[in-house]
Amino acid sequence: MMDKSYWIWYYGDYELYHIMKANLRREERGYKRPIFWKQDVPYVNVKFQKTVDSDGGTLKAYFNGSGYIAVNGKRYNEGIEIKVPKGKCKVEALISKENGFPAIFIESDVCPSDETWECNYCAGKFIPAGYNEYFDEAQKNPEIFPFAYENKVPVNKRHINNGILYDFGTELFGYLNIVNADAKEKINIFYGESEEEAIDTEHSLIIDSVEGSKEYQLKQRALRYVFIETECKNIDVSVDYEYLPLEKKGWFKCDNELFNKIYDVAAYTFHLNCREGFLDGIKRDRWVWAGDAYQSARINTYLFQDKAIEQRTAIGLIGKKPVEQNINYILDYSLLWIIGLYEHYMVYGDVKFLSRIYEMATEMIAFSETRINSDGFIEGTEDDWTFIDWAEIDMTGAVCAEQMLLIAAYKAMGNISKVLGKKEEDAFFEKSEVLKKLVNQYYWNEVLGAFIDSYTSGKNNVTRHANIFAIMYDIAEEEKKRNIIKNVLENDSVPQITTPYFKGYELDVMSKVNGLDKVEFILNSYWGEMIRCGCKTIWEEFKPEETGIERYGMYDGKYEKSLCHAWGAGPVYIFGRYYLGVYPTAPGFETFNVEPNLGGLNEIEGVVPVGDGGVKVSLNHNRLKVKASKSGGTLIWKGKHYKIEPDVELVIDC
Amino acid sequence: MMDKSYWIWYYGDYELYHIMKANLRREERGYKRPIFWKQDVPYVNVKFQKTVDSDGGTLKAYFNGSGYIAVNGKRYNEGIEIKVPKGKCKVEALISKENGFPAIFIESDVCPSDETWECNYCAGKFIPAGYNEYFDEAQKNPEIFPFAYENKVPVNKRHINNGILYDFGTELFGYLNIVNADAKEKINIFYGESEEEAIDTEHSLIIDSVEGSKEYQLKQRALRYVFIETECKNIDVSVDYEYLPLEKKGWFKCDNELFNKIYDVAAYTFHLNCREGFLDGIKRDRWVWAGDAYQSARINTYLFQDKAIEQRTAIGLIGKKPVEQNINYILDYSLLWIIGLYEHYMVYGDVKFLSRIYEMATEMIAFSETRINSDGFIEGTEDDWTFIDWAEIDMTGAVCAEQMLLIAAYKAMGNISKVLGKKEEDAFFEKSEVLKKLVNQYYWNEVLGAFIDSYTSGKNNVTRHANIFAIMYDIAEEEKKRNIIKNVLENDSVPQITTPYFKGYELDVMSKVNGLDKVEFILNSYWGEMIRCGCKTIWEEFKPEETGIERYGMYDGKYEKSLCHAWGAGPVYIFGRYYLGVYPTAPGFETFNVEPNLGGLNEIEGVVPVGDGGVKVSLNHNRLKVKASKSGGTLIWKGKHYKIEPDVELVIDC
């Protein structure tokens, strides 16, 4: 009887490989466009080893790559049944692969390949091998990412100009199939997230061209619309929709149909961008960006609560030693990556992951510290991109919002070090506190009652961004928080945020400190307006005042704006976190609070996943019902605390 | 009119890629055996850029990989003729390649791709691109290493057992061709460096098996003999001999026919192992080892004086940041790599190369310093292999020979820093001096009049190795040198060296300090014995007392000993360096000395390459003739100095 075997590899290389593939796959009108920051790669030769003490048995190995497996020093190729002698025995393998990543699968009644095997990269310490539960058969190739597929047909078809325009009803990602074509005809294909883009054959960003066959399957593309230049009337198309099969563990419904629509559209937008990692937008970059991913992880917590995608994303973003630049070149994204690690730990309680990523986290923060100027503030060099948001922030010298993130990153590193029992804990907390004082001293403007962007320019410019972070990461004291609410958040003369990315943070902060009134206003006016404009997915940026084709422009490109951008799915998080009111109070939701809030709604209902269980909340003006499938929950309602027993419905008349 | 273009890549990636291919190609009876130390890989995405100010023109790019080329921010694919506008213009490209290395070739009258282009790896500083003069056409693929080929046929053929044994007369490396086979027959092929190995089908290390065709070309293998198991009498074979087309710039002849044979066999052995880099042996590992390569570079200086192979080897060995282990895992090999860099500079005077490798050299020495113990001596950890030589050295604690190498490595780093005007110069020289004093204090044994291997074991064991290095790197003072000669080198109770690797160093030292008598004795008794035994190439290890099949055994394998090992070619260096007596006194042979020495011979003649020229020396008991094709030479003869004018023969009656 053989024990359960998995493909094993150097921990992290599976994740890094698939993120790399995504990062190098971007294509625009006729040329490829790889990421413009450094792409790390898997190790090319990996040693695997295990010492067993057994009654003997056999093993048979399969390689992804080439090399050997050795039993007590005698080497063999793959595919050979090898005797494992009785008693103590050392089994080793050395596999190399130049393209892809080395991996091994061992069928055995003695030493099946699993996480109890150790490996190194022919240097470094031996660590437990990486594996993935899906790859449990020799025939499954770990270099092929396990997506799911579903055939989709257009909901609409129109003959226009010299071709046919198809509408799939909503955005998709997948492989376009064309059948009944004329093999002699050269067919040009123009994809569009909008109808305008698909038929604007001079400018549509993603195009293809085929000829010589009656049937085609094209490359994987994002599309809602596709325009096919053809004289053939019989042509038929469909899309093999490719997606990550994730279980929707969380949901939300309320009596406001617009909000329900926002939730559904946001959840769909988010799901389309959940692939090898958290992608930014499904059409254009399809790259993994740490800031976008930070927001995505929060959304994921309340929708799929899928740990694996967060870990793939984190590993893919940080790569391997040495850290030579900011993640995605962006000063703030490096810090958000660090902050996100601790938030990830709070949701999933995965100490093992934390301990494995710790070395790279210390490398990352040490790199960030190379950007600290003589005043003690983090400041981008010419090799860094100080992003924060697409907004008019005064970027002179050290920027306030970056300091807020560094304070939070130090705190996260302190917390992570504490979990892992690392001696660096105190130093990180100390650094966080020191910087917090400095920031209050240099950036707080008493006259304006707000944090200013820059203390060196003399402009005393106030934007929402730093002030939002100051509340989000609990950096401002209570009085300052009140000031910020009044002088910044509720002050319409401070420019509005235009990206749903930062709107997500704004909603978070407002929900936390200012009740849900303003939140509902923003949901209504900003996300609601997208829905009213007919958007089936959430956009990268949205300016209600823009109309017509100009709405699709960004980055100097007519259709460069992403119309399906994950960072717009923030409401999913807001509904789960602040309406259903569920959040962890110990790692992995071992304990959690449920603090429901009806806001201005009449009825809400939904489920939030809490680790290996879920909690269902329903609330209207008359009654609150809470039921969890696991222990550890505390209901907080009108100042009172109630213990939530597993599988017992708490019913409270309001 | 287009200007000259070359394929360009991130500097070093061409070299690293081809060394990697060699390192991962090793194969033994049915399985592959990649290197067991870390293999670094080329960068996967590379940016290229150039700013031009011109009257305008065009460009057309070709990619090795995928990506784009952009002119003033507008992006294009490869293969398109693009206008370059008049005036200042920025041309950029971003190319990615997952397998291989990104490269670009640009035909242009404005900005042809060459070394004036800069690149980075989407991180790091922009540096001048790497290129190779051979790759000057778009059609030449820089991932295909430019070897030369020659068809060779067997010199002998014998029907034995159930097949045919072919003898190619001498060792070759290449592709075996089989013709006139029976397509229905499965043919087994057994290669051998020795006849015994080829016909010992149970144990021959390299084997192949083919069927289904009348003609085959097999994988590239080393062989002198090949035994083909077949019932087909008509079979015919040949080998497409694959070699690096190097010009033999140096040669040596004398009146001793055995020495001439040693020279020729050594030179042939060496050439077979000169490929992507300096390989150790052509049959077994075919790996690049820094110690072997150090010796190879000295031989190369007097035979091919090929700069490129030394640089490919150095780059391939050191790889990329971070340095996480010793080169080839071997403590001494890291140090020899550093020492070799300065010797390389002295021969070729290539400051550009030195400046490009400097960062990795400082990383390497810093890593070596992590192995310095509390007494101040370098000492291998369990992660290191303290090799020195295949010999009975007392390896307790810090080993003397390693200290000798560290002293020399510090000095080399001091010298390199000096050339490059780096501030670290003084610190390196200082460290070298401090360690030298410590070594004399701890390792010199007054009673034995020699350096001992270990000062911690109490065994006071003396081997030749540390004492040879002490002279080779000028570490022992004059009196100690005299002691070493008497008590170690000329003392037969100190065990003889068994590898031609260290014999090479012994010859060097003896030639330098002890005249050529003993050198000739060793050439005669050691290398001469190999020739008398019928060796057509120099072996990895040679023990004259061994006979029969046991001679071929090593590493617990019946035929694992390499019978064509580059490190045995030391005599090539000795004849050029000490008989013809030519060596550089300024970088790149800008100045050089000629100090001929007849030793115990009656007549010597030969040429030593000296940078862009050569110097011919002939000497017998009556007459010395010296002629150089370039300036800078000084003849030293019987204590007198003569200036050697270019192309003017100096003739001196002895």
Predicted confidence (pLDDT) per residue in B49-64, tens digit: 999 999 999 999 999 9
Query: In this complex, do A322 and B321 lie within 8 Å of one another by their Cβ atoms?
Result: yes
Interface A-B, measured as beta-carbon pairs within 8 A, has a size of 118
Query: In this complex, do B66 and A32 lie within 8 Å of one another by their Cβ atoms?
Result: yes
Residues of A in contact with B381 (CB under 8 A): none
Q: Which of A31, A38, A96 minimises the CB distance to B68?
A: A31
The whole-angstrom distance between A98's CA and the closest CA on chain B is 6
**pLDDT reading at B1 higher than 70:** no
Chain A residue with minimum CA distance to B22: A98
Interface test with B, best of A29, A45, A328 (most B CBs within 10 A): A45
Query: In this complex, do A77 and B24 lie within 8 Å of one another by their Cβ atoms?
Result: no
Question: Is A59:A107 a contact under the CB 8 Å cutoff?
Answer: yes
Residues of B in contact with A67 (CB under 8 A): 31-34
Residue B3 has a pLDDT of 78
Q: What digits encode the pLDDT tens for the residues B11-34? A: 999 999 999 999 999 999 889 999
Question: Is B354:B419 a contact under the CB 8 Å cutoff?
Answer: yes
Query: In this complex, do B32 and A67 lie within 8 Å of one another by their Cβ atoms?
Result: yes
- Residue B70 β-bridge partners: B75, B92
Residue A2 has a pLDDT of 63
Of the candidates A40, A39, A38, A43, the one whose C-alpha atom is nearest the C-alpha of residue A11 is A43
Residues of A in contact with B39 (CB under 8 A): 43-45, 96, 122
Mapping DSSP to helix (H, G, I), strand (E, B) and coil, where does residue B53 land?
strand
Residue B328 main-chain phi, psi, to 5 deg: 55, 20
The whole-angstrom distance between B133's CA and the closest CA on chain A is 26
Element (H, E) at B652: strand B650-653
- Average of pLDDT values for B183-187? 96
What does the alpha-carbon distance between residue A628 and residue A389 come to, in Å, rounded to a whole number? Answer: 38
Query: In this complex, do B44 and A47 lie within 8 Å of one another by their Cβ atoms?
Result: no
- In A539-610, where do the E strands start and end? 582-584, 592-594, 603-610
Question: Is B126:B120 a contact under the CB 8 Å cutoff?
Answer: yes
The whole-angstrom distance between B383's CA and the closest CA on chain A is 9
- Average of pLDDT values for B291-320? 98
Q: What digits encode the pLDDT tens for the residues B344-402? A: 999 999 999 999 999 999 999 999 999 999 999 999 999 999 999 999 999 999 999 99
Residues of A in contact with B47 (CB under 8 A): 36
Confidence of residue A3 (pLDDT cuts 50, 70, 90): confident
Global model pTM greater than 0.90? yes
ipTM of the assembly? 0.95
**Alpha helices in B515-621, H assignment, sequence order:** 517-522, 528-532, 570-574
| Token representation of residue A187 | 């067919």
Chain B residue with minimum CA distance to A93: B33
Q: Helices B500-514 and B464-472 meet at what angle, rounded to 10?
A: 50
Interface test with B, best of A94, A96, A143 (most B CBs within 10 A): A96
Q: What digits encode the pLDDT tens for the residues B505-517? A: 999 999 998 889 9
Of the candidates B404, B599, B436, B592, the one whose C-alpha atom is nearest the C-alpha of residue B514 is B599
Residues of A in contact with B96 (CB under 8 A): 24, 32, 34, 39
**pLDDT reading at B2 higher than 80:** no
The whole-angstrom distance between A383's CA and the closest CA on chain B is 8
Q: What digits encode the pLDDT tens for the residues B84-118? A: 999 999 999 999 999 999 999 999 999 999 999 99
The whole-angstrom distance between B13's CA and the closest CA on chain A is 14
Of the candidates B570, B582, B574, B579, the one whose C-alpha atom is nearest the C-alpha of residue B608 is B582
Query: In this complex, do B99 and A98 lie within 8 Å of one another by their Cβ atoms?
Result: yes
Query: In this complex, do A124 and B322 lie within 8 Å of one another by their Cβ atoms?
Result: no
Query: In this complex, do A44 and B322 lie within 8 Å of one another by their Cβ atoms?
Result: no
| Token representation of residue B385 | 């292999």
Residues of B in contact with A30 (CB under 8 A): 76-77
**Alpha helices in B552-629, H assignment, sequence order:** 570-574
- Average of pLDDT values for B473-478? 95
Residue A121 has a pLDDT of 98
Residues of B in contact with A124 (CB under 8 A): 38, 324
Residues of B in contact with A322 (CB under 8 A): 321-322
Q: What digits encode the pLDDT tens for the residues A476-512? A: 999 999 999 999 999 999 999 989 999 999 999 999 9
Query: In this complex, do B122 and A20 lie within 8 Å of one another by their Cβ atoms?
Result: no
Interface test with B, best of A32, A64, A66 (most B CBs within 10 A): A32
Query: In this complex, do B38 and A98 lie within 8 Å of one another by their Cβ atoms?
Result: no
Query: In this complex, do A31 and B321 lie within 8 Å of one another by their Cβ atoms?
Result: no
**A contact set with B (CB within 8 A):** 20-21, 24, 28, 30-41, 43-45, 47, 66-68, 75-77, 94-96, 98-99, 121-124, 321-322, 324-325
Widest CA span of chain B, in angstroms? 80
**pLDDT reading at B6 higher than 70:** yes
Of the candidates A540, A527, A544, A543, the one whose C-alpha atom is nearest the C-alpha of residue A566 is A540
The whole-angstrom distance between B97's CA and the closest CA on chain A is 9
Chain B residue with minimum CA distance to A76: B31
Query: In the 8-state DSSP scheme, what is residue B233?
Result: S
Chain B residue with minimum CA distance to A92: B36
Residues of A in contact with B322 (CB under 8 A): 321-322
* CB count in 10 Å sphere of residue A430: 12
b/e per residue A143-163 (b: at least 16 CB within 10 A): bebebeeeebebeeeeeeeeb
Query: In this complex, do A39 and B30 lie within 8 Å of one another by their Cβ atoms?
Result: no
Q: Which of A34, A44, A99 minimises the CB distance to B45?
A: A34
Chain B residue with minimum CA distance to A75: B31
Average pLDDT, chain A: 96
Q: Residue A443 carries which side chain, given as an amino acid letter?
A: Y
Chain B residue with minimum CA distance to A124: B324
**pLDDT reading at B547 higher than 90:** no
Which residue reads 């959840």 in tokens?
A: A267
Chain A residue with minimum CA distance to B67: A32
* CB count in 10 Å sphere of residue B291: 25
Residue B110 has a pLDDT of 96
Chain B residue with minimum CA distance to A44: B39
Residues of A in contact with B319 (CB under 8 A): none
In terms of pLDDT, which residue wins out, A556 or A127?
A127
- In A211-255, where do the E strands start and end? 216-229, 236-243, 251-254
Of the candidates A563, A487, A574, the one whose C-alpha atom is nearest the C-alpha of residue A523 is A574
Q: What digits encode the pLDDT tens for the residues B223-261? A: 999 999 999 989 999 999 999 999 999 999 999 999 999
Query: In this complex, do A33 and B77 lie within 8 Å of one another by their Cβ atoms?
Result: no
**B contact set with A (CB within 8 A):** 20-21, 24, 28, 30-41, 43-45, 47, 66-68, 75-77, 94-96, 98-99, 121-124, 321-322, 324-325
In terms of pLDDT, which residue wins out, B548 or B601?
B601
Q: What digits encode the pLDDT tens for the residues B572-603? A: 999 999 999 999 999 999 999 999 999 999 99
**pLDDT reading at A280 higher than 90:** yes
